Structure 1
Amino acid sequence: MYGNPFLGGLSSLPLIKPGRSRAINAENPTGEKGMGGMAASHLGPSRKGSPCIRDVAPGATATLAEIAGPGIIEHIWITVTDRTEADTFVLRDLVLRMYWDDETVPSVESPLGDFFCNGFGRGCVVNSMPIVVNPTRGFNSYFPMPFRSKARITIENQHEAPIPALFYQIDYCLHDELPEETAYFHAQWRRQPITTKGEDYVILDQVRGAGQYVGTYLALTALERYWWGEGEIKMYIDGDEEYPTICGTGTEDYFGGAWSFATQQNGKTVENTYNTPFMGYPYYSSHDDSVHNPYHNDDTPPMRGFYRWHIPDPIRFRQDLKVTIQQIGVYKKGLFERQDDVASVAYWYQTEPHQPFGPLPGKEERWPR
Structure 2
Amino acid sequence: MASFNGLGMHMGNLAILSTAESRSISAENPTGEKGKGAMATPDPAKSPARKLGRGWKAAPYVVIEPGEVKVLAEIAGAGAIAQIWMTPTGAWRSSILRIYWDGSPEPSVECPVGDFFACGWNKYAQVSSLAVCVNPGSAFNCYWEMPFRKRCLITMSNTADSAMILFYQINYVLTEVPTDAAYFHAQFRRVHPLPYKEVYTIVDGITGRGQYVGTYMAWGVHNSGWWGEGEIKFFMDGDAEFPTICGTGTEDYFCGSYNFDVGKENGGYREFTTPYAGLPQVIRPDGLYASQQRFGMYRWHIADPIRFKRDLRVTIQALGWLGDPRKGAEFLPLQDDIASVAYWYQTLPAAKFPPLPSPDYLRIV
Same fold (TM over 0.5): yes
Aligned to 1:59: 67
Aligned to 1:346: 342
Q: Give runs of aligned pairs for residues 41-52 of structure 1, distance below 5 A.
A: 41-42=49-50, 43-52=52-61
CA contact (8 A) 1:113 1:123 kept: no
Post-superposition CA distance 1:67-110 (Å, at most 9, x none): 012010000001022x4xxxxxx100010000001111100000
Aligned to 2:272: 274
- When residues 96 and 223 of structure 1 are mapped into structure 2, their CA distance, relative to the original with a 3 A threshold, is same
The answer to whether 1:328 aligns with 2:319 is: yes
SS at match of 2:12: helix
> Deviation of residue 340 (structure 1)?
1.0
Unaligned runs of 5+ in 2: 42-48
- TM-score using structure 1 length: 0.91
Post-superposition CA distance 1:332-367 (Å, at most 9, x none): 123222221110000000000001111100111011
Aligned to 1:87: none
> Deviation of residue 34 (structure 1)?
0.8
CA contact (8 A) 2:210 2:308 kept: yes
CA contact (8 A) 1:120 1:367 kept: no
Aligned to 1:104: 105
Q: Give runs of aligned pairs for residues 171-250 of structure 1, distance below 5 A.
A: 171-175=171-175, 177-250=176-249
Aligned to 1:166: 166
The answer to whether 1:313 aligns with 2:304 is: yes
CA contact (8 A) 1:4 1:179 kept: no
> Deviation of residue 180 (structure 1)?
0.6
Percent of residue pairs bearing the same amino acid type: 46
The answer to whether 1:153 aligns with 2:154 is: yes
CA contact (8 A) 1:121 1:367 kept: no
Runs of 4+ in 1 over 6 A off after TM superposition: none
Aligned to 1:284: 282
> Deviation of residue 17 (structure 1)?
2.1
The answer to whether 1:129 aligns with 2:125 is: no
Distance (Å, rounded) in 2 between the aligned partners of 1:58 and 1:35: 29
Q: 1:139 is aligned with what amino acid? A: F
Q: 2:337 is aligned with what amino acid? A: D
Choose the corresponding residue for 2:81, options 60, 73, 76. Answer: 73
**C-alpha RMSD of matched pairs (Å):** 1.5
CA contact (8 A) 1:96 1:155 kept: yes
Aligned to 2:293: 302
SS at match of 1:313: coil
Tell me how many residue pairs correspond in the alignment: 349
> Deviation of residue 39 (structure 1)?
1.7
Q: 1:273 is aligned with what amino acid? A: E
Aligned to 2:143: 142
CA contact (8 A) 2:8 2:145 kept: no
SS at match of 1:364: helix
Distance (Å, rounded) in 1 between the aligned partners of 2:86 and 2:8: 26
- TM-score using structure 2 length: 0.92
Unaligned runs of 5+ in 1: 84-89, 290-296
Distance (Å, rounded) in 2 between the aligned partners of 1:22 and 1:259: 46
